[in-house]
Structure 1
């Protein structure tokens, strides 16, 4: 067994998502399992080089996890020929410039989404990566979640018959920051800093719908800022200029219709923070982050509308839970492993910067739909 070290510049790991999901639960988790076994006598050993603006935070993270390399000088890290991959989990407004530098330095690129603040910027990155001949990928973690993998299993097995509609509910109440600390950074609620639930979540909905049900062909959206004032990390009030709720209708290739509500101003009355109900001619399913339950047409009850009598049956009890039947790993880690295989072995990989641009496009057109009060077709993106 031989070990190949792959050095990864990880920019933005002092943030919540970059630290928890990408550094700890992905890269460090791969190291804890002994590396990524390629199955051909070779093991990939990821070696993170932590990059950011705050030296004290980087040093503290490195010490906490027994790492030795960190830097506040991105240019110097990218100039190091031994660094093969650049990963970006910064705020969106800082992402494009950093990725362009990484591409120019010949690094393979793996990045959080959205990849840019507008679709032209996202396409520009995809073109630059293509012309440079590097490998590139975009985080599209939701399709690796256990609940959605079970849903994909049902789709591939023909459980639904013809899929008619998809209804999604995502969100939770994010505290304003005055009487309780907010669960999300304040920049998420400032449009000038790249915040907003549309630019955050519509890229997710693009790849979830595309991968599972069909390409999104049109969007109609209504966007709101329900909470106009919030308090930042220093306890200072600020104007919330970004949207905190979005109500979208997406038409899909093949005729199905998806309706997805996204909100940071909703209190949860469902089993998981995100749930999708899929209705088809032969059956229906409700999938969340981990669980998935179904109701086949052969076991569908026959409700009768009668508002004069109390309900005597539990509708939830009439659904059947889908078993795991396999061990599901962390979704971020699973995609990291696929990208490392792509870099080292040339294994197929479809979630690239062009796929990321489709997510940016859907967010951009969703905001335009809300602003102009009309439906927009989604044109095919090409490089």
Structure 2
């Protein structure tokens, strides 16, 4: 089996799974309990929080645990919007955001907020001048992802931060789910970022656990209320085993990151060169200003899901668009925002690599693609 769908989810690392199992079996207390078992669980919880904060260069008090990226995005957009409603009702998100952000913004529009979608250029990068033109005195939140999950663009987070430098009343949120292990932390968490979202299963941690960064002094309303956990901002008993495993996974993915990125870039270069040799293949993910693990391309005249199943027959696993919307059979929302024709957009497939992949798998993929390409040419 060759697994090239790592942007959808990564395999949990065996060492991370061991941490999860050890904590789940040996630390049974509820961290909110007053007895010793609760104290032990609470210490593990706070040690994990501090480890994550240290790895990101932030304070432990700025890290809050969630169930993953979708909850984090929903919480930040809705929590900030309602917290700051007295100051304004205007929100700006980019037109290439993950559905968790885009759908949250669209829901807020039904609640009396005004939402603008910042356009992107033909390569998927947010247009800074156009974003700047959307800002008004009622603007309370700007949300732009660090790395696009569909084609791998590295969005200009630092430049957007500079654009907002003299606008302290506007909160700046970054969906950093796809950035961990692919970008330097300083690139997706510069000082101007107020909120950021993370999900463990994107970096070899367990599913169903994540965290958000909330800069000290920034306020938002809770999405979940009840027991008052996470400083009264996210009520529910914390998943201590999952959180400890996530902290371990984050430390591991950031270890030797430069060597891992070099390996990914070399594999991507081979793929780009080989796919670019086909006249009927359109590649949407380049090398410059794109992460090294994502390659999205379309084979003209062949729907993406057909190509996905063609590879699946050979036990090679790729995807069409975002895993959260691919089963709906929709064209890539990112490519649509880039004004790619609907017919070409529905042909798009995504390869998303991991440092565990190797050149032998790349060669096997290209061999099978050559066979599938010949087959589709005959059919057409």
Q: What is the TM-score with the length of structure 1 in the denominator? A: 0.26
Higher normalized strand content (fraction of residues):
1
Scaled by the length of structure 2, the TM-score of the pair is: 0.26
